[in-house]
A and B are shown apart, each in its own frame.
Chain A
Amino acid sequence: MEVTLSIDPLFLAWSYFRRRKFQKCSDICTKVLEDSPYDQEHDTLPHISEAAWSLKTRALTEMVYIDEVEVDQEGIAEIMLDESSIAQVARPGTSLRLPGTSQGGGPSPAVRPMTQSGRPITGFVRPSTQSGRPGTMEQAIKTPRTANTARPVTSASGRFVRLGTASMLTNPEGPFINLSRLNLAKYAQKPNLSKTLFEYIFHHENDVKNALDLAALATEHAQFKDWWWKVQLGKCYYRLGLYREAEKQFRSALNHQEFVDTYLYLAKVYQRLDQPITALNLFKQGLDHFPGEVTLLTGIARIHEEMNNITSATEYYKDVLKQDNTHVEAIACIGSNHFYTDQPEIALRFYRRLLQMGVYNCQLYNNLGLCCFYAQQYDMTLSSFERALALVSSDEEQADVWYNLGHVAVGIGDLPLAYQCFKLALAFNNDHAEAYNNLAVLELRKGRIEQAKAFLQTAASLAPHMYEPHFNFAILSDKVGDLQSSYMAAQKSEDAFPEHVDTQQILKNLRHHFAVL
């Protein structure tokens, strides 16, 4: 006699969901729903299909879920048509927009490379730090040429939309829920369905307007007493760019219930409004309620870092590590800070710690290789770079690894190898301004002035924020006798790095020359 045992399909789906096998969970839910369809129009439904429906929305949401606290991308329109700015020129130490206004005195670009927005590069990259804020419209439009991903026109047309279309691709029969036919008012009255439905609309469909409608109805139904809905309303307002409204909702949610996430969202609003000091105060308030909370401490450190105040950022990252000694971001940032303050041995220890923790990627091996080289542990250098090259996932990464290998070659005096490395960097990423500059220096050593000039000009046009190409061009032109070009290039170099002594020297000499004439 045959006995076939089978689990209740809904239970199985639930089990798949808990094991994060969302596709399988969603498939089973689809079958359950086919057997006993959940009619979106009428109210005649058995509980089982209601549960399956809700579970499927959750599974689909989880598939494309990304942490909303982390996601932040400013479009050109938001940067240029900024309505929330109070003053044209912010006072020192009160703005994130002007990196030069820090009080702490950031690292000099002679030691630490800069990003396009004029900030020192950090040890860790998040979606919001991927491309810094450009200073002018011209720069904003140019940015996509050298950044890995193009900057969207507005944040509403950016990644969210792309992710929205990505989630549509996963079900070719069309969307699971037809939002336009949904009776939002009806769902808003069912607390057990409305929350999953909201998250589905917000994260999976990226339809912020409908999500906002649902949240507004639901919070009304909850008699404005549910902090969760207020946070969701705030999230919707934030995405729509209504920052002051978002602030109100988050504040009100905090009155109902102290919650770490709400603090983080609210701080995000203030950062977008360019009020870093308010954000810092808020984080400190949050720390009073949640002492030693790692995410809040990290938030403080990030703001200090963005304001070019690397020393206090490092202090806070150290605090983070006291609470959570496996915090990758803190370790990476402290490590890179040590590297660029002439302590590669200590940086090496931090990166080695990351390796022990199981971080295994191209960036880490590249950093290990560089630290080993500058800490004079030559045996490990090349093998680290070999690993890094084996682990690359994109051409840009490969270009960066070859660029750093070029530095190692320069360090050991193998100039032909260095030349080849920089050439390879350019082969993988045609926009690698640093490689162009270094190649120009090598070309000049070989005595090919015209070639060097061309490379320097390319580097300068690709990365106007770097002082090196301008400065080198000034020296080169000076040697050839083209004083006018030399003067112009030196001025650009001064704009990029006002404290550079050699640039000042050149300018002084040139001014003297011109005065004599």
Chain B
Amino acid sequence: MPEVKSMFREVLPKQGQLSMEDVPTMVLCKPKLLPLKSVTLEKLEKMQHEAQEVIKQQELALREQQQAQPEQEQAQ
């Protein structure tokens, strides 16, 4: 191996004390792998979602009816 004469030399203190302080640092919460959903769970969620949609539509229809009725009464 050819000898490489480096310009920099490491500095190792021969005397005196070397001290290091371990400062506790704040920790971050870890990255979260998202769990995959089972088929049953997906079906359950789909069914619940669909049921919610149906209820919403029914409520909307009801509200429209109720709004329509007073207008008819006023017209009469």
Q: A residues engaging B (CB < 8 A)? A: 64, 66-67, 70-71, 110-113, 121-127, 130, 159, 162-163, 165-166, 169-170, 328-329, 332, 335-336, 339-340, 354, 359, 361-364, 366-367, 370, 374, 397, 400-401, 403-404, 407, 410, 433-434, 437-438, 440-441, 444, 466, 468, 471-472, 475-476, 502, 505-506
Given contacts A112-B30, A163-B51, A169-B55, 8 further A-B contacts (CB under 8 A): A66-B47, A110-B27, A124-B35, A124-B36, A130-B41, A159-B48, A170-B54, A335-B33
| 1/0 contact string of B22-43 vs chain A (CB within 8 Å) | 1011111111111111101101
Q: Which residues of B contact A (CB under 8 A)?
A: 22, 24-38, 40-41, 43-44, 47-48, 50-51, 54-55, 58
The answer to whether A122 touches B48, judged by C-beta atoms less than 8 angstroms apart, is no
- Please tell me if the beta carbons of B27 and A472 are within 8 angstroms of each other in the complex: yes
- Known contacts A339-B33, A362-B34; A66/B26 CB under 8 A: no
A113, A125, A466: the one within 8 Å of B38 (CB): A125
In the bound complex, residues from chain B placing their C-beta under 8 Å from that of A397 are 34
Whole-angstrom CA separation of A71 from B43 in the bound complex: 11
Cβ contact within 8 Å between A366 and B34: yes
Whether B51 pairs with A66 at a CB distance below 8 angstroms is: no
Given A64-B47, A125-B41, A169-B55, check contact A437 B28 (CB 8 Å): yes
Closest residue of chain A to B25 (Cβ to Cβ) is A475
Which chain B residues border A354 with CB–CB below 8 Å? 36
Instruction: For B22, list chain A residues within 8 Å (CB).
Output: 505
Q: Which residue of B lies closest to A444 (CB)?
A: B26
Given known contacts A66-B43, A437-B29, A506-B24, A169 and B36 CB-to-CB distance under 8 angstroms: no
Given contacts A125-B41, A370-B31, contact A502 B24 (CB under 8 A): yes
Residue of B nearest to A396 (CB): B34
| 27 CB-based A-B contacts, threshold 8 Å | A66-B40, A67-B40, A112-B30, A113-B30, A122-B35, A126-B38, A127-B41, A159-B44, A159-B48, A163-B51, A166-B54, A169-B51, A329-B38, A339-B33, A364-B36, A366-B33, A374-B31, A401-B34, A404-B31, A434-B29, A437-B29, A441-B28, A444-B26, A468-B29, A472-B26, A476-B26, A505-B24
Residue of A nearest to B32 (CB): A113
B residues within 8 A CB of A407?
28, 31
CB distance from B61 to the nearest CB of A (A): 11
Which listed residue (A70, A112, A123, A162) contacts B51, Cβ 8 A? A162
Chain B residues with Cβ below 8 Å from A363 are: 34-37
Chain A residues with CB under 8 Å of B50's CB are 166
Establish whether residues A123 and B36, one from each chain, have CB atoms under 8 Å apart when the complex forms: yes
